[in-house]
Amino acid sequence: MTGDDILAETRSYENGVTIRPAVEADLGAIIALLVDDPLGKTRERLEDPLPQAYIDAHHAMAAQGGNVYLVAERAGTVIGCLQVTLIAGISREGMTRANVEGVRIASSARGLGLGKTMMRDAMDRARNAGCGLVQLTTDTRREDARRFYEALGFTPSHVGMKLALD
């Protein structure tokens, strides 16, 4: 099974959550989750119709391979999302790694363990795709997120840096 096959799986969990690859029709729900966040609301545009940039990005991710937005649904409603990107590399003896970002849980579903289910699902997919590690960044202002990731076993091993290219 290839990394793309593993990322494309739909999985159901005992807590009534199904995690599956996002389709174009999910983009509005994903953007709504990204906007339902103090930092995200300054970076995203939830409009009707959605800006074409989101649709183009969805198609570009699919064409790239090894790069997928996963959504978590309960009773047919998208209540969580995250992006997983498989990255082949030379360092660490040619290790493939998974990068996770854009993790969001609907405010109405927080505290129910959904984030843990989604992250464990992403880690399992990464392991099954042959990755040797999972990496992520979290904004330094997100203290709760940092504690959440540390409780899952992530360690703050590096200093992340970003440069906005205008």
pLDDT tens per residue, range 67-111: 999 999 999 999 999 999 999 999 999 999 999 999 999 999 988
User: What is the tens place of the pLDDT at every residue in 10-56?
Assistant: 999 999 999 999 999 999 999 999 999 888 888 899 999 999 999 99
Residue-range domain boundaries for the chain: 3-151
Q: What angle do CA 18, 105, 70 make, to 5 degrees?
A: 45
**Token representation of residue 137:** 């960044």
Q: Is the pTM value of this prediction over 0.85?
A: yes
pLDDT at residue 161, rounded to an integer: 83
Whether the per-residue pLDDT at 115 is higher than 90: the answer is: yes
Amino acid 147: pLDDT? 94
Q: Taking the domain 3-151, which CATH number applies?
A: 3.40.630.30
Angle, CA 31 vertex, CA 29 and CA 33 arms, to 5°: 70
